[in-house]
Each structure stands twice: as structure tokens, then as C-alpha cells.
Structure 1
Amino acid sequence: MFPSSLDMGIIFLTQTGIGLVGNSSLLCLYNFTLISGRYLRPTDLILNQLVLANSIVLFSKGIPQTMAAFGWKYFLDDVGCKIIFYFYRLATGVSFSTICLFNGFQAIKLDPSICKWMELKARSLRFIAFCCFICWVPHLLINSCLPVIVSGPLHKKNSSVEENYGYCSWHLSEDLLDSFYTLLYFSPDILSLGFLIWASGSTVLVLHRHKQRVWHIRQQRPSSRPSHEVRATHTILILVSFFVTFYSIYLTLTIWMTLVANQGQWMVNTSVLVASSFPAFSPFVLMLRDTRIALLCSGCGARRAALPDPPSGS
């Protein structure tokens, strides 16, 4: 069982606040590299879209759920609920597709034999931007049905299936509640999850083979710092394991809540916490593994040290 509504509100507020701070910091970093060209990497455009999608998820799900947990039940009308749910599902799907795109580019970069014709294109920012744009198109179309089945807060039960999220409700008629509809609606997420596991496994396998080939060289020149291959492998393993675990649980809970009526509020709270965990905490994984942040911080520290001391007062 979950604690009281006030405690849940504090948990949602803390998670959302931490996530927004982390994603905002990364947005500033990636936009700085894209505009200035300094420390620019081809995948910065992909990661910039990932943190943007994560921010939209937190804004459209974390903030309303926090307000509902603190007792604000009717702060959105019917139109507001449709917009909020549409952006939430859109951003969640784009987050799926973007992290798959990121791992796919990493796999092709490390092993060009996977897709030889994309080896050179994977280094073009224009081609990467086109791929990022493609990530939005299917989710814009798939979620076009949400305004029909999402409405404002429930005041009375008058349909076959009603799920109250505290501030909005989700209605489905009996003829839509079947396995085919559920599989069709969530098939992009399931396919993205499968592709993500394949791409990440391929990347880690290539890095492991490369590490074995150069192992004897590093034995002659031992170093206390981990190699780039080890750092990249750790980043992929942590990020993907984090993503797959939380979004697998989220997909299971969402499908269950779609197919089964009269779910308790604890199920809704669990789904929101799990769905917001990756958008909230993944930026800090990227920060810890990105060496450019340390370079920027050291550069700022060097500039401060080079500034002359202010004159002392008389």
C-alpha cells in the first residue's frame, strides 16, 4: 500500500523537481554545443531531443499528478486533459524512439558492417536531424485517437470502462477493449523495446571484442583511468538497463490498466512513479558519464582563478 496522499504529493514533487533540474541542465549543455560547435558530438542532437522529450513527460505527467496528490482534483477541464494526455503519450513515445536511435547510431559507429551505407551518413548532422524528425511522425499519428477517449475528471460513472487519474479520466467503449486494439496501440513501444535491447547488446559485444584485441597493449602501459571502451560500455549498460526495467514495468501496468476496469489509486500512483523514473534520473547518468561537463567546469574554474582579486577597502 502507498502512504497518504500528502506523502505521495511530496514524492511526486521531489521526483519531478529533480528531473526538471537535470534535464534543463543537459538542455543547456547540448544547445551550447550545437550553437557554438565547441565539444560537439554527432549524437548531441539525439540526446538533446531525448532530454526535451523527458522534460515534456515530467511537465505533462509529473506536475499534474503532484497537484492531484495534494488534493487539487478539478484544475483541468476537458480540453486541458486532452492536451495534457496527448503531449504525455507523444513525449513518452518519442523518448522510446530517440533512445533507440541513439543506441542504433552507436552500434553503427562501432561496427559499420551492421549497415554499411549508413556509416558516412551517421556523421552528418543533417541526416541525424532528419532521423530525429522521423521519431515524432508515427507518434503524432498514433496518439491522434487520445482526444476521443480522454476527458475531464469523473463526477459520476456512466461508461463501461472508466479510469480516474485524479484530475482526468480515460474512457473506452467495450468494442475497443480487445487484445488487437491494445497490441496495435502499444506495438511501437514494444518494437522499440526489442530494437533497443538488440542495438545495446550489439554495441556492448563490439566494445567487449575491441577491449580484448587491445588488452595486451594496455598491459604494457597500465593506467588507473578506465578506457573509453569501458566507460562507453558502462554508460550503455546503465542507461539501457535503467530504461528497459522501468519502461517494461510501465508498459505492463499501462496495458493492464487499459484492459481491466476499476483499478485502485495505488495502481495509478505506481504507474506514474515508474513512468517518471527514467525521465527524472537518466540525465544524471548522462552527466556522470559525459567528460565534457568536467572540462567545462574546469574551464570555468580556471577563468575564475585568472581573474584579479578585488581591491581591499580602505
Structure 2
Amino acid sequence: MPLSVFVRGMLYLSLTVVGVPGNATVILAFLLLLYHENRLLPSDAIVLHLACVNLLVVGVRCLLETLASFRLASVFGDVGCKVVIFVYRTSRSLSIWLTFVLSAYQCLSIVPPGSRWASVRTVVSQYLGFIFLFLWLLNTCMSSAAILFSFGTKNESSPADHGINVQFCYVRFPSKLIIEMNGAAQVGRDVVPMALMTLASLILLVFLYKHSRQVKGLRSSGGSGGGAEQRAAKAVVALVTLYVVLYGVDNGLWVYTLTVRKAMASSLISDLRIFFSSLYAALSPVIIIASNRKVNGRLRCDVQRKPVQEKDTCLSTM
């Protein structure tokens, strides 16, 4: 096995080892919470949906790339390439948009009651299921090019100028215009939520900074509201920062691919893009588990299994 292929397989293996158990743990924690309380708060539902999408990103792309790199399975034929690239692109873009929805909802959750933005938060909570459905439809449609233009490398026959080498697959576009239009649509799809979530996070930080100064005396006398708000803010800002850094690198490499002719046929550039975009899906559950008291509290309760104190302990950690 060539050294480059071995290194590639180890990198995808590291993402799989971290991302699959991490996202599965977050999903399990919220399912346990739903079982015990029969409901989820809107923010919890968003995080649960985000973890499911991230599990798709890591499981469908990184796990299968690992198996193919070490020649443990062969799934990248024509049909396999179409399915994997379509599911990966759809779930990857959904991960971006759900991170934006989470940051926006967290921003709305701290507005004063009775304000116009408080009514917006109520509307978002009521129609959260429709928001999920709309995002699925939007990103599914925008990823449909993967079904039309993805093939196994054995069918690679078009000029390198119109194709992108993805190691085991080849995305082959019929013309330069189409590849540029597809690339611009993907960049726009990522840049829009990135700008919006950055703005939401900045508003959140400014508000919390002012609020923390106003209630400093209350927190020092034993109040815990400020601490809960600060934990929520840190978690959201950490996720947004991770997204901006990793997807900024990903989109930078994508723009480089579109503008430099030889880069289109380079599997190294494609591997780097997939690695950085999948890194968010692998690391985000670590941030969620470390910062979300409902997640780690629920897991501790069910792992320890204290028959008498279970209910009180669980409620005290949320």
C-alpha cells in the first residue's frame, strides 16, 4: 500500500473514531431525555438534528473512505459514488445551516419578553419542523448535481478541465460554465449562513456582555441565570468559530479548485476539502458534550443508575 494512501486512510479513520461515537452519544443523550421528559426544547431539537446530520457526514463519507483506503470494502462504483457524494453534500450543507439556526435561535432566546423578536422566537419554535423540512428540500435540490455528474474513476474520460478527482470517484461536468455555476452556488450556499451565524454570535456576545454587567450583583449573591447564559453563549460561539475556521479553509480550497486548472484533477485538494469539512462534524459533538449540561447530565444519570436518587440527580444537572 502506498504511503499516501495509508496516511489518507489514517486521517479518515481518526475522524471516524471521534465523530461516530461522539455524535451517537449526543443522539443517545437527547433520546433518553425525550424518553424521560416526553418533550424536547427547540434548542435541544436543533442540536439533536445537528448531531444526526453530522453522523451522516462522518458515517457515509469518512467511514466509507476509510474502508476503501484500506481495501476492506469496495462501494465506490458508479451508483456508490452518486449515493455517497449526494448524501455527503446534502448532510454537509445541512450541518452548516443547522449551526446557523442554532446560533440564531440562541440569539432570539435572550431577547426581553414582549419585544418583537420574542414573537419571532415563538414563531420559530412553533414551526421548527417546517424549518427542518425546508432546509432538507433546499439542500437536497442544491446537491442534485452529484447524481448527474458523479461516476466511478474507471469511467473517467472527459477532459480534466471539466472534472474533479475525488480519489475513488470522479465528478465530471459537461462544460466549464456548468462547473463554475455549480461552484458558485455551493460557495454562496455556505457563505450566506456563515455570515448570518457570525452576525448572530456577535449580537449574542454583545448582549451577554452588557447583561452580565447589569446582573453582576445578582450572580455574586447566588443567582445562576447569568452562568447558564454564559455557558450557552460559549457553546454556540465555539461551534460557530469552529465552523468559520474549518469551512473557511474548505471554501478557500474550493475556490482554488475552480480558478486553477490543474487543481480540478488533483485528488489531494479534494481530500483536504473533505477532511476539513468533515472535521467540523467530528469535533462538534465534543463541544456539545462538554458544554451541554443536559447531555452530560443525562448520560451520567443513566450510566450510574442510582435507583433512589436518579430522578433528583437528573433534574439538578439540567
- Under TM normalisation by the shorter chain, which class is it? 0.7 to 0.9
Range with bigger deviation, 200-209 or 29-38: 29-38
1:296 CA displacement: 2.7
Distance 2:223 2:122 in 1: 34
Structure 2 SS opposite 1:163: strand
Structure 1 SS opposite 2:109: helix
Distance 2:142 2:299 in 1: 42
Residue 303 of structure 1 pairs with residue 303 of structure 2: no
Structure 2 SS opposite 1:262: helix
Judged with a 3 Å threshold, the aligned counterparts in structure 2 of structure 1 residues 73 and 298 are, in CA distance, closer, same or farther, namely closer
Distance 2:233 2:45 in 1: 21
Distance 2:279 2:104 in 1: 23
CA contact (8 A) 2:29 2:299 kept: no
Distance 2:216 2:123 in 1: 31
CA contact (8 A) 1:122 1:128 kept: yes
CA contact (8 A) 1:81 1:151 kept: yes
Structure 1 SS opposite 2:143: helix
Structure 2 SS opposite 1:170: strand
1:77-226 map, 5 Å: 77-111=77-111, 113=115, 115-124=117-126, 127-154=127-154, 157-159=157-159, 160-176=161-177, 179-220=180-221
1:256 CA displacement: 2.3
1:214 CA displacement: 0.5
State the TM-score, normalized to the length of structure 2: 0.84
State the TM-score, normalized to the length of structure 1: 0.85
Range with bigger deviation, 32-41 or 197-206: 32-41
Structure 2 SS opposite 1:200: helix
Q: Tell me which structure has the larger Cα radius of gyration.
A: 1
Judged with a 3 Å threshold, the aligned counterparts in structure 2 of structure 1 residues 255 and 68 are, in CA distance, closer, same or farther, namely farther
Aligned residue-pair number:
303
Judged with a 3 Å threshold, the aligned counterparts in structure 2 of structure 1 residues 11 and 172 are, in CA distance, closer, same or farther, namely same
Aligned to 2:315: none
Aligned to 1:312: none
Judged with a 3 Å threshold, the aligned counterparts in structure 2 of structure 1 residues 21 and 243 are, in CA distance, closer, same or farther, namely same
1:202 CA displacement: 1.3
Residue 28 of structure 1 pairs with residue 34 of structure 2: no
Structure 1 SS opposite 2:144: helix
**AA matched with 1:106:** Q
Judged with a 3 Å threshold, the aligned counterparts in structure 2 of structure 1 residues 220 and 21 are, in CA distance, closer, same or farther, namely closer
Structure 2 SS opposite 1:49: helix
Which ranges in structure 1 are unaligned for 5 or more consecutive residues?
308-314
Structure 1 SS opposite 2:306: helix
CA contact (8 A) 1:43 1:102 kept: yes
**RMSD over aligned Cα, in angstroms?**
2.9
CA contact (8 A) 2:23 2:54 kept: yes
CA contact (8 A) 1:108 1:114 kept: no
Judged with a 3 Å threshold, the aligned counterparts in structure 2 of structure 1 residues 21 and 220 are, in CA distance, closer, same or farther, namely closer
Which ranges in structure 2 are unaligned for 5 or more consecutive residues?
311-318
CA contact (8 A) 1:162 1:261 kept: no
Range with bigger deviation, 176-185 or 48-57: 176-185
**AA matched with 1:211:** S
1:81 CA displacement: 0.7
Distance 1:288 1:40 in 2: 19
Q: Deviations over 1:46-103 (max 9, x none)?
A: 1111011111111222123223432579642111111111101100111111111111
Percent identity for Structure 1 against Structure 2: 19
Structure 2 SS opposite 1:96: helix
Aligned to 1:70: 70
Aligned to 1:268: 270
Judged with a 3 Å threshold, the aligned counterparts in structure 2 of structure 1 residues 302 and 33 are, in CA distance, closer, same or farther, namely closer
Aligned to 1:311: none
Range with bigger deviation, 133-142 or 106-115: 106-115
Distance 2:180 2:83 in 1: 26
Higher helix share: 2
Judged with a 3 Å threshold, the aligned counterparts in structure 2 of structure 1 residues 173 and 71 are, in CA distance, closer, same or farther, namely same
Match of 1:283 among 279, 285, 291: 285
Judged with a 3 Å threshold, the aligned counterparts in structure 2 of structure 1 residues 161 and 26 are, in CA distance, closer, same or farther, namely same
